Amino acid sequence: MQRTKTSSSTSLSFKIFVGMVIGVILGLLSVNFHFEQIIKDWIVPWGTIFLRLLKFVAVPLVIASLIKGICGLKNVERLSRLGFKTLGIYIVTTVCAIIIGISAVLLIKPGNFISDEKSAEFIQQYEQPAATEASVSGNSVGPLQFIVDIVPENIISAASNNSKMLQIIFIAIIFGIAIIIIGEEKTKTFTKLIDDLNVIILKIIDFIMVFAPIGVLALMAGLTVNYSGEADVFKALGMYAATVIIALLFISFVFYPILIKLFSKKKIGNFIKAMLPVQLLAFSTSSSAATLPLTIESAEKNLGISNETASFVLPVGVTINMDGTSCYQAVAAIFMAQVLGLDLSFTQILIIIATTTISSIGTPGIPGGSIVMLMIVLNSVGIPPEGLALIMGVDRPLDMLRTVVNVTGDTTVACMMDNSKREMCDA
Protein backbone atom coordinates (compact mmCIF):
# COMPACT_ATOMS: atom_id res chain seq x y z
CA MET A 1 0.00 0.00 0.00
CA GLN A 2 2.18 2.76 -1.15
CA ARG A 3 1.58 6.10 -2.61
CA THR A 4 3.88 8.94 -3.19
CA LYS A 5 1.90 12.11 -3.48
CA THR A 6 4.01 14.13 -1.11
CA SER A 7 3.06 17.64 -2.13
CA SER A 8 -0.65 16.94 -2.58
CA SER A 9 -0.83 15.32 0.85
CA THR A 10 0.95 18.31 2.39
CA SER A 11 -1.58 20.67 0.88
CA LEU A 12 -4.39 18.38 2.02
CA SER A 13 -3.02 18.57 5.59
CA PHE A 14 -3.03 22.33 5.27
CA LYS A 15 -6.60 22.35 3.96
CA ILE A 16 -7.75 20.11 6.79
CA PHE A 17 -6.07 22.42 9.29
CA VAL A 18 -7.77 25.43 7.70
CA GLY A 19 -11.10 23.54 7.77
CA MET A 20 -10.60 22.90 11.46
CA VAL A 21 -9.92 26.59 12.21
CA ILE A 22 -12.84 27.83 10.10
CA GLY A 23 -15.12 25.29 11.80
CA VAL A 24 -14.23 26.59 15.25
CA ILE A 25 -14.61 30.23 14.14
CA LEU A 26 -18.00 29.50 12.52
CA GLY A 27 -19.13 27.70 15.65
CA LEU A 28 -18.06 30.58 17.91
CA LEU A 29 -19.72 33.17 15.64
CA SER A 30 -22.96 31.17 15.61
CA VAL A 31 -23.01 31.05 19.39
CA ASN A 32 -22.32 34.79 19.69
CA PHE A 33 -24.83 35.85 17.04
CA HIS A 34 -27.39 33.13 17.79
CA PHE A 35 -27.51 31.24 14.53
CA GLU A 36 -26.65 27.84 16.04
CA GLN A 37 -29.69 26.22 14.44
CA ILE A 38 -28.41 27.11 10.96
CA ILE A 39 -25.12 25.38 11.78
CA LYS A 40 -26.97 22.32 13.12
CA ASP A 41 -29.28 22.13 10.09
CA TRP A 42 -26.93 23.05 7.25
CA ILE A 43 -23.34 22.40 8.34
CA VAL A 44 -23.33 19.52 10.83
CA PRO A 45 -24.88 16.97 8.39
CA TRP A 46 -21.70 17.23 6.24
CA GLY A 47 -19.70 16.02 9.22
CA THR A 48 -22.13 13.13 9.66
CA ILE A 49 -21.78 12.28 5.97
CA PHE A 50 -17.98 12.30 6.34
CA LEU A 51 -18.16 9.88 9.28
CA ARG A 52 -20.62 7.64 7.41
CA LEU A 53 -18.26 7.49 4.43
CA LEU A 54 -15.43 6.40 6.74
CA LYS A 55 -17.64 3.75 8.30
CA PHE A 56 -18.79 2.39 4.97
CA VAL A 57 -15.26 1.62 3.76
CA ALA A 58 -14.25 -0.06 7.03
CA VAL A 59 -15.46 -3.62 6.29
CA PRO A 60 -14.16 -3.91 2.70
CA LEU A 61 -10.86 -2.27 3.75
CA VAL A 62 -10.29 -4.80 6.52
CA ILE A 63 -11.20 -7.74 4.30
CA ALA A 64 -9.01 -6.63 1.39
CA SER A 65 -6.02 -5.30 3.30
CA LEU A 66 -5.80 -8.13 5.80
CA ILE A 67 -6.16 -10.96 3.27
CA LYS A 68 -3.57 -9.18 1.10
CA GLY A 69 -1.27 -8.64 4.10
CA ILE A 70 -1.47 -12.30 5.14
CA CYS A 71 -0.93 -13.55 1.59
CA GLY A 72 2.13 -11.30 1.44
CA LEU A 73 3.61 -13.24 4.36
CA LYS A 74 4.38 -16.18 2.09
CA ASN A 75 7.21 -14.11 0.66
CA VAL A 76 8.45 -13.64 4.19
CA GLU A 77 8.55 -17.40 4.60
CA ARG A 78 10.67 -17.64 1.49
CA LEU A 79 13.08 -15.21 3.02
CA SER A 80 13.81 -17.77 5.73
CA ARG A 81 14.61 -17.26 9.39
CA LEU A 82 15.36 -13.54 9.06
CA GLY A 83 11.83 -12.98 7.74
CA PHE A 84 10.20 -14.61 10.74
CA LYS A 85 12.55 -12.85 13.11
CA THR A 86 11.68 -9.48 11.55
CA LEU A 87 7.96 -10.23 11.91
CA GLY A 88 8.43 -11.30 15.52
CA ILE A 89 10.34 -8.12 16.41
CA TYR A 90 7.77 -5.97 14.63
CA ILE A 91 4.96 -7.52 16.64
CA VAL A 92 6.86 -7.19 19.93
CA THR A 93 7.69 -3.49 19.32
CA THR A 94 4.07 -2.81 18.33
CA VAL A 95 2.75 -4.44 21.51
CA CYS A 96 5.30 -2.48 23.61
CA ALA A 97 4.21 0.79 21.94
CA ILE A 98 0.57 -0.03 22.69
CA ILE A 99 1.39 -0.80 26.33
CA ILE A 100 3.25 2.54 26.60
CA GLY A 101 0.17 4.32 25.18
CA ILE A 102 -2.22 2.47 27.49
CA SER A 103 -0.05 3.21 30.54
CA ALA A 104 0.04 6.92 29.63
CA VAL A 105 -3.72 7.22 29.12
CA LEU A 106 -4.55 5.24 32.27
CA LEU A 107 -2.16 7.37 34.28
CA ILE A 108 -3.09 10.79 32.89
CA LYS A 109 -6.81 9.97 32.46
CA PRO A 110 -7.51 12.78 29.92
CA GLY A 111 -11.15 11.69 29.55
CA ASN A 112 -11.83 12.42 33.21
CA PHE A 113 -11.41 16.15 32.56
CA ILE A 114 -14.99 16.04 31.32
CA SER A 115 -17.69 16.61 33.94
CA ASP A 116 -20.09 13.80 34.89
CA GLU A 117 -23.07 15.68 33.44
CA LYS A 118 -21.30 16.14 30.12
CA SER A 119 -20.32 12.51 30.09
CA ALA A 120 -23.96 11.49 30.70
CA GLU A 121 -24.97 13.74 27.83
CA PHE A 122 -22.45 12.04 25.52
CA ILE A 123 -23.77 8.62 26.51
CA GLN A 124 -27.29 9.70 25.73
CA GLN A 125 -26.18 11.22 22.44
CA TYR A 126 -24.38 8.09 21.29
CA GLU A 127 -27.13 5.95 22.70
CA GLN A 128 -25.41 2.61 23.19
CA PRO A 129 -22.84 2.42 25.93
CA ALA A 130 -20.75 -0.73 25.83
CA ALA A 131 -21.91 -2.02 29.14
CA THR A 132 -25.53 -2.10 28.13
CA GLU A 133 -24.67 -3.64 24.77
CA ALA A 134 -23.28 -6.74 26.37
CA SER A 135 -26.28 -7.22 28.56
CA VAL A 136 -28.76 -6.53 25.77
CA SER A 137 -27.36 -9.45 23.80
CA GLY A 138 -29.06 -11.68 26.37
CA ASN A 139 -26.22 -14.19 26.52
CA SER A 140 -24.81 -15.08 29.87
CA VAL A 141 -21.38 -13.49 29.72
CA GLY A 142 -18.84 -16.09 30.84
CA PRO A 143 -15.05 -15.72 30.85
CA LEU A 144 -14.73 -17.19 27.34
CA GLN A 145 -17.58 -15.18 25.83
CA PHE A 146 -15.16 -12.80 24.08
CA ILE A 147 -13.65 -15.73 22.16
CA VAL A 148 -17.12 -17.04 21.30
CA ASP A 149 -18.02 -13.56 20.00
CA ILE A 150 -15.02 -13.52 17.66
CA VAL A 151 -16.19 -16.61 15.76
CA PRO A 152 -18.86 -15.73 13.18
CA GLU A 153 -21.93 -17.87 12.48
CA ASN A 154 -22.53 -16.28 9.15
CA ILE A 155 -20.27 -14.32 6.80
CA ILE A 156 -23.04 -12.04 5.55
CA SER A 157 -24.33 -11.06 8.96
CA ALA A 158 -20.77 -10.44 10.19
CA ALA A 159 -20.05 -8.22 7.19
CA SER A 160 -23.30 -6.31 7.56
CA ASN A 161 -22.56 -5.03 11.03
CA ASN A 162 -19.65 -2.71 11.80
CA SER A 163 -19.73 -3.75 15.44
CA LYS A 164 -18.78 -7.30 14.45
CA MET A 165 -15.38 -6.19 13.19
CA LEU A 166 -13.50 -8.89 15.11
CA GLN A 167 -15.52 -11.49 13.20
CA ILE A 168 -14.49 -9.85 9.93
CA ILE A 169 -10.85 -9.97 11.04
CA PHE A 170 -11.31 -13.65 11.90
CA ILE A 171 -12.78 -14.36 8.45
CA ALA A 172 -9.96 -12.44 6.70
CA ILE A 173 -7.26 -14.31 8.65
CA ILE A 174 -8.82 -17.73 7.90
CA PHE A 175 -9.12 -16.84 4.20
CA GLY A 176 -5.51 -15.61 4.12
CA ILE A 177 -4.18 -18.78 5.74
CA ALA A 178 -6.24 -21.00 3.42
CA ILE A 179 -4.90 -19.11 0.39
CA ILE A 180 -1.30 -19.53 1.54
CA ILE A 181 -1.82 -23.28 2.09
CA ILE A 182 -3.63 -23.87 -1.23
CA GLY A 183 -0.90 -22.00 -3.10
CA GLU A 184 -0.65 -19.21 -5.63
CA GLU A 185 -1.53 -21.19 -8.74
CA LYS A 186 -5.02 -22.29 -7.69
CA THR A 187 -6.01 -19.04 -5.99
CA LYS A 188 -4.68 -16.45 -8.40
CA THR A 189 -8.11 -15.25 -9.58
CA PHE A 190 -9.26 -14.65 -6.04
CA THR A 191 -6.05 -12.96 -4.92
CA LYS A 192 -6.15 -10.74 -8.00
CA LEU A 193 -9.72 -9.81 -7.04
CA ILE A 194 -8.59 -8.97 -3.50
CA ASP A 195 -5.65 -6.94 -4.87
CA ASP A 196 -8.03 -5.00 -7.11
CA LEU A 197 -10.53 -4.50 -4.29
CA ASN A 198 -7.70 -3.14 -2.16
CA VAL A 199 -6.66 -0.64 -4.82
CA ILE A 200 -10.28 0.43 -5.32
CA ILE A 201 -10.87 0.94 -1.60
CA LEU A 202 -7.68 3.00 -1.32
CA LYS A 203 -8.91 5.16 -4.19
CA ILE A 204 -12.26 5.60 -2.43
CA ILE A 205 -10.41 6.62 0.76
CA ASP A 206 -8.59 9.15 -1.44
CA PHE A 207 -11.96 10.58 -2.49
CA ILE A 208 -13.16 10.66 1.09
CA MET A 209 -9.99 12.44 2.17
CA VAL A 210 -10.57 15.13 -0.48
CA PHE A 211 -13.83 15.75 1.36
CA ALA A 212 -12.00 15.71 4.74
CA PRO A 213 -11.44 19.50 5.06
CA ILE A 214 -15.22 20.08 4.75
CA GLY A 215 -15.99 17.12 7.00
CA VAL A 216 -13.58 18.37 9.66
CA LEU A 217 -14.95 21.92 9.32
CA ALA A 218 -18.48 20.63 9.92
CA LEU A 219 -17.43 18.40 12.81
CA MET A 220 -15.55 21.23 14.50
CA ALA A 221 -18.39 23.73 13.96
CA GLY A 222 -20.85 21.23 15.48
CA LEU A 223 -18.50 20.49 18.37
CA THR A 224 -18.02 24.20 19.11
CA VAL A 225 -21.78 24.87 19.03
CA ASN A 226 -22.48 21.91 21.31
CA TYR A 227 -19.71 22.57 23.77
CA SER A 228 -19.03 26.30 23.67
CA GLY A 229 -18.83 27.55 27.21
CA GLU A 230 -17.88 24.02 28.24
CA ALA A 231 -14.21 24.48 28.70
CA ASP A 232 -13.86 20.98 30.14
CA VAL A 233 -14.46 19.37 26.72
CA PHE A 234 -11.66 21.39 25.13
CA LYS A 235 -9.45 20.83 28.15
CA ALA A 236 -10.03 17.07 27.87
CA LEU A 237 -9.17 17.22 24.15
CA GLY A 238 -5.97 19.14 24.94
CA MET A 239 -5.05 16.58 27.59
CA TYR A 240 -5.80 13.76 25.14
CA ALA A 241 -3.44 15.31 22.55
CA ALA A 242 -0.81 15.81 25.28
CA THR A 243 -1.15 12.15 26.33
CA VAL A 244 -0.59 10.93 22.76
CA ILE A 245 2.42 13.25 22.41
CA ILE A 246 3.96 12.14 25.74
CA ALA A 247 3.59 8.45 24.79
CA LEU A 248 5.09 9.07 21.32
CA LEU A 249 8.01 11.03 22.80
CA PHE A 250 8.66 8.22 25.28
CA ILE A 251 8.75 5.68 22.45
CA SER A 252 11.13 7.86 20.40
CA PHE A 253 13.48 9.03 23.12
CA VAL A 254 13.49 6.14 25.58
CA PHE A 255 12.19 2.93 24.01
CA TYR A 256 13.97 3.05 20.63
CA PRO A 257 17.34 4.25 22.01
CA ILE A 258 17.26 1.31 24.47
CA LEU A 259 16.65 -1.11 21.59
CA ILE A 260 19.44 0.48 19.52
CA LYS A 261 21.84 0.34 22.44
CA LEU A 262 21.03 -3.24 23.41
CA PHE A 263 20.48 -4.91 20.06
CA SER A 264 22.54 -3.07 17.44
CA LYS A 265 26.03 -1.75 16.99
CA LYS A 266 24.88 1.68 15.81
CA LYS A 267 25.68 4.79 17.84
CA ILE A 268 22.60 6.59 19.11
CA GLY A 269 24.01 9.98 17.97
CA ASN A 270 24.45 8.67 14.42
CA PHE A 271 20.99 7.17 14.47
CA ILE A 272 19.39 10.47 15.48
CA LYS A 273 21.37 12.37 12.85
CA ALA A 274 20.49 9.91 10.09
CA MET A 275 16.82 9.89 11.04
CA LEU A 276 16.32 13.65 11.10
CA PRO A 277 15.61 14.24 7.38
CA VAL A 278 13.48 11.10 7.24
CA GLN A 279 11.48 12.26 10.24
CA LEU A 280 11.01 15.72 8.76
CA LEU A 281 9.63 14.23 5.56
CA ALA A 282 7.36 11.88 7.52
CA PHE A 283 6.18 14.84 9.62
CA SER A 284 5.35 17.01 6.65
CA THR A 285 3.73 14.31 4.50
CA SER A 286 1.99 12.31 7.27
CA SER A 287 2.70 9.28 5.13
CA SER A 288 5.19 6.56 5.95
CA ALA A 289 4.65 5.08 2.47
CA ALA A 290 5.62 8.35 0.77
CA THR A 291 8.67 8.54 3.03
CA LEU A 292 9.84 4.98 2.24
CA PRO A 293 12.34 5.79 -0.54
CA LEU A 294 14.14 8.28 1.72
CA THR A 295 13.95 5.88 4.69
CA ILE A 296 15.71 3.18 2.65
CA GLU A 297 18.30 5.59 1.24
CA SER A 298 19.15 7.04 4.62
CA ALA A 299 19.31 3.59 6.27
CA GLU A 300 21.82 2.42 3.69
CA LYS A 301 23.89 5.58 3.21
CA ASN A 302 23.89 7.14 6.66
CA LEU A 303 23.52 4.11 8.90
CA GLY A 304 25.43 1.59 6.81
CA ILE A 305 22.61 -0.95 6.86
CA SER A 306 23.09 -3.52 4.09
CA ASN A 307 20.91 -3.16 1.02
CA GLU A 308 19.60 -6.68 1.51
CA THR A 309 18.32 -5.90 5.01
CA ALA A 310 17.04 -2.39 4.25
CA SER A 311 15.19 -3.39 1.09
CA PHE A 312 13.36 -6.16 2.87
CA VAL A 313 12.84 -4.96 6.45
CA LEU A 314 11.76 -1.38 5.65
CA PRO A 315 9.06 -2.06 3.01
CA VAL A 316 7.61 -4.84 5.19
CA GLY A 317 7.69 -2.38 8.11
CA VAL A 318 5.79 0.30 6.19
CA THR A 319 3.05 -2.23 5.52
CA ILE A 320 2.73 -3.97 8.86
CA ASN A 321 4.67 -2.07 11.54
CA MET A 322 3.17 1.16 12.85
CA ASP A 323 4.18 1.71 16.46
CA GLY A 324 3.08 5.36 16.52
CA THR A 325 -0.28 4.52 14.99
CA SER A 326 -1.05 1.60 17.27
CA CYS A 327 -0.01 3.59 20.36
CA TYR A 328 -2.30 6.44 19.28
CA GLN A 329 -5.21 4.10 18.57
CA ALA A 330 -4.99 2.58 22.03
CA VAL A 331 -4.89 6.04 23.66
CA ALA A 332 -7.82 7.26 21.53
CA ALA A 333 -9.99 4.23 22.31
CA ILE A 334 -9.41 4.42 26.06
CA PHE A 335 -9.84 8.22 26.04
CA MET A 336 -13.25 7.81 24.43
CA ALA A 337 -14.20 5.15 26.95
CA GLN A 338 -13.19 7.56 29.75
CA VAL A 339 -15.22 10.38 28.20
CA LEU A 340 -18.26 8.14 28.02
CA GLY A 341 -17.71 6.93 31.57
CA LEU A 342 -17.23 3.33 30.43
CA ASP A 343 -15.14 1.18 32.72
CA LEU A 344 -13.11 -1.09 30.49
CA SER A 345 -12.47 -4.55 31.94
CA PHE A 346 -9.06 -6.24 31.79
CA THR A 347 -10.38 -8.44 28.97
CA GLN A 348 -11.45 -5.36 27.01
CA ILE A 349 -7.97 -3.86 27.44
CA LEU A 350 -6.52 -7.13 26.11
CA ILE A 351 -8.92 -6.93 23.15
CA ILE A 352 -7.71 -3.35 22.51
CA ILE A 353 -4.09 -4.59 22.50
CA ALA A 354 -5.00 -7.39 20.07
CA THR A 355 -7.11 -5.25 17.72
CA THR A 356 -4.63 -2.35 17.62
CA THR A 357 -1.85 -4.83 16.81
CA ILE A 358 -3.91 -6.35 14.00
CA SER A 359 -5.12 -2.99 12.76
CA SER A 360 -1.54 -1.74 12.45
CA ILE A 361 -1.02 -4.56 9.92
CA GLY A 362 -4.00 -3.28 7.93
CA THR A 363 -3.40 0.48 8.27
CA PRO A 364 -2.20 2.03 5.00
CA GLY A 365 0.82 4.33 5.36
CA ILE A 366 -1.10 7.35 4.14
CA PRO A 367 -2.37 10.52 5.84
CA GLY A 368 -5.22 9.65 8.17
CA GLY A 369 -4.87 5.96 7.24
CA SER A 370 -5.63 4.81 10.74
CA ILE A 371 -8.91 6.67 11.20
CA VAL A 372 -10.91 3.94 9.46
CA MET A 373 -8.96 1.30 11.34
CA LEU A 374 -9.68 3.03 14.64
CA MET A 375 -13.37 2.24 14.06
CA ILE A 376 -12.46 -1.44 14.24
CA VAL A 377 -10.76 -1.00 17.60
CA LEU A 378 -13.73 0.99 18.93
CA ASN A 379 -16.28 -1.48 17.62
CA SER A 380 -14.41 -4.42 19.09
CA VAL A 381 -15.01 -3.19 22.64
CA GLY A 382 -18.39 -1.57 22.03
CA ILE A 383 -17.31 2.09 22.11
CA PRO A 384 -19.67 4.04 19.83
CA PRO A 385 -17.62 5.18 16.80
CA GLU A 386 -19.58 8.45 16.75
CA GLY A 387 -17.12 9.51 19.48
CA LEU A 388 -14.59 9.89 16.65
CA ALA A 389 -16.10 13.31 15.96
CA LEU A 390 -14.56 14.40 19.22
CA ILE A 391 -10.98 13.61 18.27
CA MET A 392 -11.08 14.23 14.51
CA GLY A 393 -10.47 17.94 14.99
CA VAL A 394 -7.09 17.42 16.66
CA ASP A 395 -6.10 14.43 14.55
CA ARG A 396 -3.98 16.22 11.98
CA PRO A 397 -0.97 17.22 14.10
CA LEU A 398 -1.11 13.87 15.90
CA ASP A 399 -1.01 12.08 12.54
CA MET A 400 2.18 13.97 11.64
CA LEU A 401 3.82 12.91 14.90
CA ARG A 402 2.75 9.28 14.82
CA THR A 403 4.05 8.97 11.26
CA VAL A 404 7.46 10.16 12.54
CA VAL A 405 7.37 7.36 15.13
CA ASN A 406 6.25 4.83 12.50
CA VAL A 407 9.29 5.46 10.28
CA THR A 408 11.67 5.65 13.25
CA GLY A 409 10.37 2.28 14.48
CA ASP A 410 10.93 0.66 11.09
CA THR A 411 14.52 1.92 10.94
CA THR A 412 15.19 0.84 14.55
CA VAL A 413 14.18 -2.71 13.66
CA ALA A 414 16.28 -2.52 10.46
CA CYS A 415 19.32 -1.65 12.65
CA MET A 416 18.57 -4.60 14.92
CA MET A 417 18.08 -6.99 12.00
CA ASP A 418 21.26 -5.81 10.29
CA ASN A 419 23.18 -6.63 13.42
CA SER A 420 21.55 -10.00 13.85
CA LYS A 421 22.15 -10.84 10.19
CA ARG A 422 25.82 -9.99 10.46
CA GLU A 423 26.08 -12.14 13.56
CA MET A 424 24.48 -15.01 11.68
CA CYS A 425 26.92 -14.55 8.78
CA ASP A 426 29.91 -14.34 11.14
CA ALA A 427 28.89 -17.48 13.03
CB of 296 to ligand ASP, least distance (A): 15
What count of residues does the chain have?
Answer: 427
Q: Which is nearer to ligand ASP, 212 or 233 (CB)?
A: 212
Residues 32, 26: Cα–Cα separation, whole Å: 10
Nearest CB to ligand ASP, comparing residues 129 and 362: 362
Question: For the residues of 224-274, what is the DSSP string, one character each?
Answer: HHHHTT-HHHHHHHHHHHHHHHHHHHHIIIIIHHHHHHHH----HHHHHHH
Q: In this complex, which beta carbon is closest to ligand ASP, that of residue 39 or of residue 278?
A: 278
Select 225 or 281, whichever has its Cβ closest to ligand ASP. 281
Q: Does 323 bind ligand ASP (CB under 6 A)?
A: no
Nearer to ligand ASP, 226 or 285 (CB): 285
* 342: helix, strand or coil: coil
Residue placing its CB nearer to ligand ASP in the complex, 36 or 399: 399
Size of the site for ligand ASP (CB under 6 A): 16
Rounded CA-CA distance 381/333 in Å is: 9
User: Which residues touch 229 (CB under 8 Å, ≥6 apart)?
Assistant: 31
- CB 366 → ligand ASP: shortest distance, Å? 5
Subset of residues 128 to 167 that bind ligand ASP, contact rule: CB under 6 A: none
For ligand ASP, give the closer residue by CB, 4 or 347.
4
Stretch that binds ligand ASP, among 11-19, 77-85, 170-178, 284-292 (CB under 6 A): 284-292
Given candidates 123, 322, 327, 413, which one binds ligand ASP under the rule CB under 6 A? Answer: 322
- Tell me whether residue 252 or residue 370 sits nearer to ligand ASP (CB atom): 370
300 Cα distance to chain centroid: 28
Tell me the DSSP string of 135-160.
HHT-S---TTHHHHHHS-S-HHHHHT
**Binding residues among 367-406 for ligand ASP as defined by CB under 6 A:** 367-370, 399, 402-403, 406
Q: Whose Cβ is closer to ligand ASP: residue 93's or residue 286's?
A: 286
Asked if 321 touches ligand ASP (CB under 6 A), the answer is no
Task: Write the interaction track for ligand ASP spanning residues 332-371; mark x where CB under 6 A is met and - where it is not.
Answer: -------------------------------x-xxxxxx-
For the CB of residue 214, give the shortest distance to ligand ASP in the complex, in Å: 19
C-alpha to C-alpha distances, 158 to 362, 418, 420, nearest whole angstrom? 18, 42, 42
36 binds ligand ASP (CB under 6 A): no
Site stretch for ligand ASP (CB under 6 A), options 182-190, 255-263, 265-273, 286-294: 286-294
Residue 384 · residue 270 · CB < 8 Å = no
Burial code (b: 16+ CB inside 10 Å, e: under 16) for 378-414 equals bbbbbbbbbbbbbbbbbbbbbbbbbbbbbbbbbbbbb
Tell me the residue type at 248: L
Residue 21's contacts (CB-CB under 8 Å, 6 or more residues apart) are none
Q: Name the residue type at position 201.
A: I
C-alpha angle 205-281-293 in degrees, rounded to nearest 5: 80
Q: Name which of residues 222 to 281 contact ligand ASP (CB under 6 A).
A: none
Cβ 358 vs Cβ 165: under 8 Å:
no
Contacting positions for ligand ASP (CB under 6 A): 286-288, 322, 325, 363, 365-370, 399, 402-403, 406
